[in-house]
Structure 1
Amino acid sequence: MRKFTISIFIILLLVIGGVLFGPGFIDWNKYKGDITEQVYAQTGRALDIEGDLHLRILPVPSFSAANVRFANDPKSSEKTMISLDELGVKVAVFPLLSGRLRVDEVVLRKPIIRVEKFADGSGNWNFSPVENAQKGTSNSTVAKEDTGLQGGGQDTTENDFLADIVLDHFRIIDGTIHYSDAKTDLDEMFEGINVEIAAKSLVGPFSLGGDLLLRGQRTEIELDIGQFADDGATAINAGVRLPDSEAKLRFNGLVSRHVNSTSYRGKFEGDGSDLGSLISELFDVDVATSADSDFELSAELEGNLNKLSVNDIVVRVGAQKVSGAVDVGLKGGVDISMDLSSPRVNLDDILTVENSVQRKLSPKTKNTSNEGDPVTGNSKAGSDQEQTQLSASSWPVFSPEVSLKAQIRIDDIIYNQRIVRGFALQSRLENGLFEIQNLSAQLPSGSQIALAANYQNQTVNGQLNARTEDLRGLLTWLDVAVPEVPNDRFRRLDSKVRFSLKPEQVVLNPVSVTLDVTHLDGAATIALRDRLGVGARVVIDRVDLDAYLIEKDKGQPVEVNDNAGVSNGSAPIDEMKAQDQKTPVGNNETQSILGKLDANLDITLGEVVYQGVPLRGVKLDATLQQGNLQIRNASLDNIEGSSFALSGAIKGIEAEAPDFDTTIIAKVVDLPKLLQLAKQDQINGLPDLGSIEVSGNVKGTKDNLAVDLLGAALGGSYQAKGAIQPGTNSLYQGLIVIDHPDAAKLVKRINPEASINPRWGRVSAKSMVTASPEVIELYELDGTIANTAIQGSVVANLADAKPKVTANLMTGTLDLSSLLPKSAAGGASGGASGGGSSVSAGLNRRWSQENLDLSALSSLNAEISLISDAVRSDALTIENVQAKATLQDAMLTLSQFSGTAYGGGVTATGNVDGRDQLIVDMDISAQNIDSGSLLRDMADFKRVSGPVSVQGKVKTAGRSEADLVQQLNGNGQISGVLTAKVKTKEVVGGALLGVLGSKLKGIQGVGDATTTLLQSFAGHPAQMKGTYTIHNGVLVTNDLRVDGNRTSVFTAATVDLPAWLIESQSDLFREGEDPTKPYLTVHLKGDLDKPNPRVKGQFLQSNKSNTINQLLGGELPSDETPETQTGATGAETTGESGKQTSEPVVDDKKAKKKKAKELLKGLFKELGG
């Protein structure tokens, strides 16, 4: 027996030992596959146990697993839903012997749990078992059968089982819970979770305590829940403490369960020493509180499944308190009624806002750089569209089953040391329509604001009214910078705006705003998309900009102080440069607003006053789309009588070189005044242009513009059609056309001091022009001035210090009397000296003593080639002119001048030096000139014809016209063949004198002289030759000879050009007579253009011929003694020295002598004498 007993005991020990120690010798890792398969079958997701599995019975039953991973929903971007480093479970042994399960400890080490809600509303906690539907149906049937058999006893048995399970310690060490909601873009991270949970049974009571990191702040939590009762009350006590803000939140209450109802009640309480710190921690904003900002809050909660009442709501911050009640009906929907009020809220005592910029950074963004954290290393980038456009899905949609009535009243709100009175908010939500029936308040500075709006189906409609009598004070109260304007501006504001807001657009219509005395009416539509779209119509009646300028700034141009480095009214220059260096080129933040939106604008300003000048009728009607600006009308109707209008297209307005295609129309009445208004420097020498009109097309880019412009100014019209290239050497290339009805008036308008010629008449010219900074070229020039056609080309080289002009011109007839400017006559008068002297007798007043303007010769260099049909000066015309001249450093060299005049050739070469004074050195030649035409045109003398040739050299110097005449020197020779023309009546007159001479001995000599002249030169060619010299303006010839038919005429003459006098003697000798005694002598003396003639000679030495001389008014023959003269009666007379006089002549003889004198003068006049 003893042996049997021992044997049984040994067997029991072995069995017990096997049970207790056997599991320790089993490799449980072989069963990982079975476990993961069962999990996958129940959840549809994979379970991965990377570490070892352990199961022990002694000394304490325990189970552990390491590195466990549970897969996430396939819709998630994260592969793992739950991961933990270690799972450990310990169970007490002895309670098992009595049929109870007591878990001593459950440990989750570093668990990471991701809870995600997807955009479709589903969550990653929804599992999809892989068991087939049939198996699922069978299990359901069996379950129903079991339920029917066991009845209500099953619940009782299950509850009894849960009640027998004790959980002493459930610990979470360094856990993390990551919650995200893709629909609301909510992302929260709870980190550093260290929690210990204890439960006497799985049906309560429970206790929880621990802490965690909430938005970076350490948060302590406590939770006590009583035992769940099927019929009775369960107590709930919860608390949260935030040590950093010294804030505590508590809830004490209970939940009662009865057969047909569930109710709850409790009290919520909270307090803290710093509300600002609490808000900063919970809502992630920078807020600092004042000293008196401790807070308390409390409310009584009571309700059931159909109703919730929050009564005795009290919120106190410092000395401020808000009270009220909220009722929520839960039957058949949600019906909320809210009524809150406060006599005074002093925000200055509650919060001091240091930085109102909310740092709305999600944990994803904040932890992007933490690559070592398997949870926080994830980031989700938002699109630009989500940042710039209101998402339609983010707009709330109110269920028709939710209704709300809210009323909030605050008598006084103190903010920024000012009082806001009568704040009231009344709102309602019903059938999905949310209404703000009234939101109003009386703001400081006599300001009022009122808002009424409604929201439904993602659309907000409403109206905002705002009014103030002191806008400056209101802005100052709100800490908004007030523009630097005079103190009486930015005062009165009255505005009314109706608006409509949708996810895709904002509509403001109508808009009515009055600021001070300026009124604005309009409407606007803003499309909220990736590229903003704006449509606006604005009408402004009048804006007085001068009234908004501080007195010191009116009319003050911005000046730069080189020493201080600061410009008037601007930031320091170094700071501006630094800012420019910080701003990268092409940065989206610095791009023009024009490149970020599309717009359709219609803006009208009735009047704008600037610097006392009204700008009336300002208009802009344009469309901006994809960076292209289409201008239908941009105009200014009146600015000091001027007007401007622009239309067309500008492509790539944000590009470095936009493309223009515009039409401009401008009328400028007073250009200097406009330049002054634009603060542009006055252009020195700018003439009074009067009214200027410009119209045409401008096309291209700023570096290459094609222009086709028509203009009118100074009484003329102009055209420019070509290309402007400011960035290259070709500033302009194209056509220039000028047409003016009166060139003289045009020049006078441009330069009132300029000399003109009234006979210029109409000037018209067109030319192709190429202009660069260094060269201006006119080619294909075709113009007319003074009825003279001008063609050719002109090149002006501006590269050197002195411009050089090269001209090749072809002209019609150049009438110098019509082309050359008229100069005022002037000079000095002087007496005339006797003939024969080479010294001038004085200066005639016809010669001007005003200094000649030689600046034109020194202002430029030139090479000129001229081909002209003719050059005319008064009666002198030179045809087929060809000339070449060079002007270099004020030295004009005439290398060629040739032409034809009066049937002969004319040439001239020489130099004109204008460096100090005008110095002329010319060689002149005229060959075979028709003397008849020359004398007819120059002196209206028609009695001589035949070819004449003249050669000579002239030099002169001086600073005035008078100097040039007085310093004229030279020499030359003259030759030719002359033929005198005689009329029939002159032949008859000569015969008559011969007849009279045979009857009247007193006039016999006259008849002989007349006959001699007619026979010698009338109709007979006469050879002429001679030389001349010019000295100091006095021309002298002593050898001028004309050989006629058996006669010769020798002439000696002195022509005093400065004094405009002539004195000459011409002696006629007949062949075969005494060569020392001229048959006829003619003296000319007096003004060059009207000399006095005197006649004498042998023809008067016949019998008593002195009577004829006296009748003609002549003098005694030169061979007679001046002391003794023969009177008309033949009586002897003596001079003054002889003291003798002739006897008196009787009256009848005087009368006869007078009649004879008149008769003879008449005869000689008919003979051309």
Structure 2
Amino acid sequence: MKKVLIALCIFVLVLAAAILVIPSFIDWSGHRAEIAKKIKEATGRELIIGGDIAFTVIPSPVLKIGDIHLANAANASSTDMIAVEQLDVRVSLLPLLAGNIHVQSIRLIRPVIQLEVLENGKGNWLFATDNTASDDIETTKQSNDPAFIENDTSKTSSLPIQIDNLIIEQGQLVYLDKANDIREDVRDINSRFAIAGLNGPFEAGGTMLVRGIPLGIEGSIGQIIHGRTASFATQVRFAHGNTSTRITGTLVNLAEGPKISAKLDLKGDSLAGFISAFQKTDEMAGGLDRSFSARGEMTYGPNGLSLGKDGLALMVGEDRGTLHVEYEKKETKQLNVKANFSKIDGDAWLNASPYQVIEPTPLAPVITLSTKQSQQGSRISAAIGSVQTPAQKSSVKAPAAPNIPTDLNATLAINIDALLFKEQAIRQAQANISLTQGEIALERLSAILPGAGELTVLGVAGERAGKLGFDGTLDLNVAHLRGALDWLQIDTSHVPLERLQQVTLKSDISLTGEELHLLNMETKLDGSTLNGGLTIALQSRPSFGASFHLDQLNLDAYLPAQGATHTHTKNQDNAEQTGSAKEPPVQSPAAPVLQSLRLLNTFDANLELSAAQVVYRKQTIEDIQINATVFDGKLDIQDAHIKQLAGVRLAAKGGIAPSEDGYHANNLFLSLDASGFTNAATLIGLQDALDWSKVGTGNASITLNGPVLSPDMDINVTALGTTLFAAAKADLLPLPKAEASINLAISDFAKLTQGLGVSYRPRGPLTKLDISADLNADLTQTNLKNIVAQIGKEQVSGHILFKQQDRPHLDVNLQTDHLNVTPFLPNDPQTTSKTPTSNTSQPSSQTAPPSNRWSKDMIDFGFMQNMDADLQLNAKRLLYKKVVLDNLVLTGQLKDAELNISDASANLFGGQAKIVSKIVAGETNDVQATVDASGLKLKSLLSQTGSTTLADGTLALKTTLVTQGKSENDFVSNLNGNGALNLNQVSVSGKNSGGSLFDILNLLATLSGKDPAKGLADIAIQSDITRGVAKLSQASLTSPIAGGSAQGQLDLPKWYMDVSGTLNIKQNALIGLLAQKAKMKQDYPFALKGPLDAPNVKLDTGSLSSGGGLIIPLPDKLEKKGYGNLIRGLIGASGGQTQSEETTTPTTLPAPQSDSETLAPPPPPSAANDNTLPLSPEQQLLQGIGDLLRKK
């Protein structure tokens, strides 16, 4: 028996050993087909095991299967529903022998599970067997069918099972619903689960990426007591903001309907960091970078949800509040939410520095990752890759219509006692919202604002044409507007106190998910009313439409009174002091244009703006209209005008659009039309620039095409009898420059100068002036080329070049064939002293009277110190008054404040003249000049200069002059130099008006029997000039009639001459007879005194050698011609008046014979003269001379 027992034991041991050892030698991989068949019978899906299958029993049962793929449902997006790279299961052996299942570990490496809602609306997780169609599978669970329904010992006990570690390593879970465009992808799942039994307790923990957000979960459920009650604790951790949420509580009534009673504790270090997990941005408002928390109790069950009597205690930084939520499940659900805040510090939220979003610290893993890597070419890689495919191919559908529940009534009440903003409180901010039968009503949104302001918004929201919309009203009333503006830190100290008192705003509101409409807006401020509407598109690119009309606005009422000072804030003063120490940066002229144009790319707009009347600076601006659109960077001005702006109409139309090379103007037309400029000039502060009343009417326009920074421009300006047209091309980059063809037509030159406030008035009359030129200009130079100035039938051409450099340089080169400058001479008459006639007596004093001929006004030579110039003028003929200059050449150079006229020459008065001069501008303004003239015809000189003296001959002049000063008076008074004047073959034609030496020559020629029209005399004068006074160093007269010399001076500053001399009368028959009978002298002193242009001529007659006087009666006509005194002076007669014809009847002598100068004897006396004494021979001679002169 003993042997039998031993043998039995040995057999049992061998059998046990065989059972434990033999499985290790079985090739389980060869049974893949049988396993796949059983799985397909159970699920209806193909199972593919691509790796090896290994099973061992000692030391404990271990099952390893590699590369597992469970096929997906038909018509699914991916091939596999489940793919696992490796499955490892380890079970304890001894509990298994006792009938208990104790799993030491289950490890799933890189599992990929794809859950998908198919086109038929069913999930791919619903399996079908061979005997039952998938459509017949019932998967709905009842509340009384939990996996752990109860723990009643009177009933059948559940299978004892324990799992120490269920590990998922680098797993992925995908949920896809194409019909609703939903895709959820949870990646990097590393988790651990533990189950003590089917009735608990349970533990779980893990980390994962949900929508890219790192998330950590830890939780536990205690043992289920009587199948009804269990305690639980769970914590959800976010890496962003170091945020965690912990919920602890109790689950009750698991069979009838679970009910949760728990405590909630949510906290985080940074609300900004937490929000950054859901809002992808690089920067957030700094006020959110504060700690936050929410703590309280909550209950949830089949009948609803409640946050407890006290609600949740909310905290963000220093702000505190409470949140109450009550949700009841009835036939119609009821949700009530109420939030109360005693204070919210808005300044702390708005003034904090921006929060810079950073990547959070990764969450610590809860498992230890295996070192096993996926095999190259394994089908698991393909399975993971296939997960991406559905998302890439899925199409984005338009948002579904709003689904506002109709079986839910809800209320939301928000109350903020004080909202601090800009250091003042917005009080009693309230919002009451209700939901009833699918309609959301904004019952009240109100607040009391600083400045006694009240804001109220009411309205209703609901479905509008398949979209959620809101319709309501807005009412704003600010009774103390100045207080509100002060609160907003808008300085109103410069606005009169009676203004900015109250403003009201009323508007209808229409809001959809796409647009905000403010309709029927009416705003009233200080008697002005603004009506209209505003539409704002709710999109990333600002887009709006505005239509407003202003009835009237008096801007003058808001301007500070004269003499009022503006109060600066401390910050402004500091800014001004700081800014005064720095030079403003140099900015390209194109920069403001570019900045303005870039704004067009930032928004879209449709504008219709108008104003009936605006008063500014006591000027009325009427009918302001702007109709324009801005879209996709393009500005289109349909109509923009100001009908009346202080007598001026302004208008604009056209467009600006972006292109590849920048912005382009498209027929951008700007115009100005003025009935007068006086009021407009006052409006813009230019009232003192001109006498605008003399400008009259005018208009201007400009049309721009092409690139805005280099446009083509057509410019038209008409004013003051002048029209300017320019076809120009401007270019602002890299530096401003322009090219233009300009034409200036002046029809009224006098009106132009008068309107520009120039005292110069042309003598005129001027024919139309037409000036054309080609202009090239940039920051360095301005070049006027191809100048053609048409002045009537005359033409001037040339070029003018101005260079902007360290010393600006002007180059002028003009040519003309014929030019009459007389009409351009000033028309203002020069003041001259009235001079007496030649026979008016003058005082004998040698002191000259003062002269006002020379102006003492300062002459500005500053331009010579500020620039250099080259001057060239050529004229074939130039007419100055009656003076004709032929072949005029003027060449000069201005350099370093020194003007050198190297050549100023011309043919004039039948001769030639040349001037060389130099002017040095400075403290004294030095002038040097040399004049050389020869061959000048005296007759031409006298006639062209307007003299009534009839004389002829030739004239030569040489002089060298120097002077200095700052006015005409200075230059004349400081004149020094010398000169020589020679008159040759001087002849006289007839009697000249006024007194002059030529009258003496004419008389002497008559007395001597010479022809006055033939050369009579040569005159030579030399003088030295000192301080404006020319002293005659030599003055001589040589002629067949007389000879003589003179001395004296010409005082130019006083415009006075004092010259005296002696004439020596040469003998002939007549003179000899006169000298014998009248005892006439041969040497006679003479004097010329008085103004230089009209001196008094006097011959010193003295007395006859006999000491008596000879009364010579002369004919009245001879006396009127002025020869009476001269003749008497020559023959020594007294200066008494001749006897009248009434008392003395002159006897006419017979005319001289043609071939002889001998007079015929007198006729016999008539009977009527019997009592008359016979005339003496002298009397008869002189009477004959009178008759001779009377015939002339």
- Does the alignment reach a TM-score above 0.5? yes
Q: How many residues are matched?
A: 1016
1:971 to 972, 980, 986: 980
1:810 corresponding residue in structure 2: 816
CA RMSD of aligned residues (A): 6.7
Say which SS state the counterpart of residue 600 (structure 2) adopts.
Answer: helix
Do 1:89 and 1:103's aligned partners in 2 also have CA atoms closer than 8 Å? Answer: no
Give the aligned residue type for 1:126: N
1:537 corresponding residue in structure 2: 547
2:296 corresponding residue in structure 1: 295
1:326 corresponding residue in structure 2: 328
Q: How much identity, in percent, do the aligned residues show?
A: 12
1:408 correspondence with 2:407 = no
Written as runs of structure 1 = structure 2, the 5 A alignment for 1:224-263 is 235=228, 237=230, 239-242=232-235, 247-255=247-255
Give the aligned residue type for 2:328: V
1:398 correspondence with 2:399 = no
Counterpart-to-counterpart distance in 2, 1:775 and 1:347: 70
1:665 corresponding residue in structure 2: 671
1:646 to 636, 642, 652: 652
1:338 correspondence with 2:334 = yes
1:316 corresponding residue in structure 2: 311
Say which SS state the counterpart of residue 975 (structure 1) adopts.
Answer: strand
1:1040 correspondence with 2:1032 = no
1:1029 correspondence with 2:1015 = no
1:927 correspondence with 2:920 = no
Written as runs of structure 1 = structure 2, the 5 A alignment for 1:259-274 is 264-265=256-257, 267-272=259-264
Written as runs of structure 1 = structure 2, the 5 A alignment for 1:568-607 is 594-604=600-610
1:463 to 471, 476, 486: 471
Counterpart-to-counterpart distance in 2, 1:547 and 1:1012: 89
Deviation of 1:810 (Å): 1.8
2:888 corresponding residue in structure 1: 881
Deviation of 1:323 (Å): 7.3
Change (3 A) 1:14 1:267: closer
Do 1:956 and 1:967's aligned partners in 2 also have CA atoms closer than 8 Å? Answer: yes
1:222 correspondence with 2:215 = no
1:172 correspondence with 2:166 = yes
2:440 corresponding residue in structure 1: 436
Give the aligned residue type for 2:668: T
Counterpart-to-counterpart distance in 1, 2:48 and 2:480: 68
Change (3 A) 1:489 1:30: farther
Cα shift readout 1:98-157 (whole Å, capped 9, x = no counterpart): xxx64232632366655556697799972699x9xxxx878879x99xxxxxxxxxxxxx
2:1164 corresponding residue in structure 1: none
Counterpart-to-counterpart distance in 1, 2:782 and 2:1062: 59
Structure 2: tracts of 5 or more residues without a match: 138-153, 209-213, 237-243, 279-287, 314-320, 375-380, 420-424, 494-498, 993-999, 1116-1123, 1144-1170
Change (3 A) 1:290 1:868: closer
Counterpart-to-counterpart distance in 2, 1:1107 and 1:381: 150
Say which SS state the counterpart of residue 853 (structure 2) adopts.
Answer: coil
1:496 corresponding residue in structure 2: 507
Counterpart-to-counterpart distance in 1, 2:116 and 2:1130: 145
Do 1:1080 and 1:1095's aligned partners in 2 also have CA atoms closer than 8 Å? Answer: no
Deviation of 1:649 (Å): 2.6
User: Normalized against structure 2, the TM-score is what?
Assistant: 0.67
1:766 corresponding residue in structure 2: 772
Give the aligned residue type for 1:23: P
Counterpart-to-counterpart distance in 2, 1:553 and 1:834: 64
2:143 corresponding residue in structure 1: none
Change (3 A) 1:222 1:497: farther
Do 1:1081 and 1:1095's aligned partners in 2 also have CA atoms closer than 8 Å? Answer: yes
Give the aligned residue type for 1:194: R
Change (3 A) 1:1061 1:722: farther
Say which SS state the counterpart of residue 21 (structure 1) adopts.
Answer: helix
Counterpart-to-counterpart distance in 2, 1:1108 and 1:473: 108
Counterpart-to-counterpart distance in 1, 2:204 and 2:398: 38
Say which SS state the counterpart of residue 1010 (structure 2) adopts.
Answer: helix
Give the aligned residue type for 1:1028: I
Written as runs of structure 1 = structure 2, the 5 A alignment for 1:679-1078 is 694-701=700-707, 703-712=709-718, 716-727=722-733, 731-740=737-746, 743=749, 746-747=752-753, 757-759=762-764, 765-783=771-789, 789-801=795-807, 803-810=809-816, 812-816=818-822, 818-819=824-825, 822=828, 824-825=830-831, 842=848, 845=851, 847-848=853-854, 850=856, 853=859, 855=861, 858-859=864-865, 860-868=867-875, 870-888=877-895, 892-901=899-908, 904-915=910-921, 916-917=924-925, 919-927=927-935, 929=937, 931=939, 934-935=942-943, 938-941=946-949, 948-953=954-959, 955=961, 957=963, 959=965, 960=968, 964=972, 967=976, 969-976=978-985, 978=987, 980=989, 1015-1017=1009-1011, 1021-1022=1014-1015, 1024-1031=1017-1024, 1032-1033=1029-1030, 1038-1042=1035-1039, 1048-1050=1041-1043, 1052=1045, 1057-1058=1050-1051, 1059-1060=1056-1057, 1069=1066
1:104 corresponding residue in structure 2: 102
Deviation of 1:406 (Å): 0.7
Say which SS state the counterpart of residue 64 (structure 1) adopts.
Answer: strand
Change (3 A) 1:361 1:894: closer
Change (3 A) 1:1105 1:696: same
Counterpart-to-counterpart distance in 1, 2:166 and 2:235: 20
Change (3 A) 1:957 1:67: same
Change (3 A) 1:199 1:441: same
Change (3 A) 1:94 1:117: closer
Give the aligned residue type for 1:406: N
1:64 corresponding residue in structure 2: 63
Counterpart-to-counterpart distance in 1, 2:347 and 2:942: 107
Give the aligned residue type for 1:18: A
Change (3 A) 1:609 1:1089: closer
Counterpart-to-counterpart distance in 2, 1:31 and 1:1053: 157
Do 1:711 and 1:717's aligned partners in 2 also have CA atoms closer than 8 Å? Answer: yes
Deviation of 1:453 (Å): 1.4
Q: Which moved more, 1:265-274 or 1:218-227?
A: 218-227
Counterpart-to-counterpart distance in 2, 1:206 and 1:981: 153
Change (3 A) 1:742 1:213: same
1:566 correspondence with 2:566 = no
Do 1:793 and 1:809's aligned partners in 2 also have CA atoms closer than 8 Å? Answer: no
Give the aligned residue type for 1:461: G
Deviation of 1:971 (Å): 0.7
Say which SS state the counterpart of residue 1166 (structure 1) adopts.
Answer: helix
Change (3 A) 1:863 1:298: closer
Say which SS state the counterpart of residue 220 (structure 1) adopts.
Answer: strand
Counterpart-to-counterpart distance in 2, 1:1166 and 1:1063: 31
Change (3 A) 1:1117 1:126: closer
Say which SS state the counterpart of residue 18 (structure 1) adopts.
Answer: helix
Cα shift readout 1:538-577 (whole Å, capped 9, x = no counterpart): 4455678999999999986999999x98348999999x99
Say which SS state the counterpart of residue 161 (structure 2) adopts.
Answer: strand
Do 1:829 and 1:845's aligned partners in 2 also have CA atoms closer than 8 Å? Answer: no
Change (3 A) 1:787 1:654: same
Deviation of 1:55 (Å): 3.5
Cα shift readout 1:1021-1067 (whole Å, capped 9, x = no counterpart): 44653422234335687543445xxxx44454568543146657665
1:147 corresponding residue in structure 2: none
Cα shift readout 1:1063-1113 (whole Å, capped 9, x = no counterpart): 576656466899999889896755565566678999x999x9944389934
Written as runs of structure 1 = structure 2, the 5 A alignment for 1:613-632 is 619-632=625-638
Counterpart-to-counterpart distance in 2, 1:674 and 1:36: 96
Deviation of 1:295 (Å): 2.0
Change (3 A) 1:498 1:818: closer
Say which SS state the counterpart of residue 329 (structure 2) adopts.
Answer: strand
2:1166 corresponding residue in structure 1: none
Deviation of 1:970 (Å): 0.9
Say which SS state the counterpart of residue 629 (structure 2) adopts.
Answer: strand
Counterpart-to-counterpart distance in 2, 1:844 and 1:748: 34
Deviation of 1:459 (Å): 1.2
1:1137 corresponding residue in structure 2: none
Counterpart-to-counterpart distance in 2, 1:609 and 1:834: 69
Deviation of 1:618 (Å): 5.3
Say which SS state the counterpart of residue 398 (structure 1) adopts.
Answer: coil
Give the aligned residue type for 1:1166: R
Do 2:298 and 2:307's aligned partners in 1 also have CA atoms closer than 8 Å? Answer: no
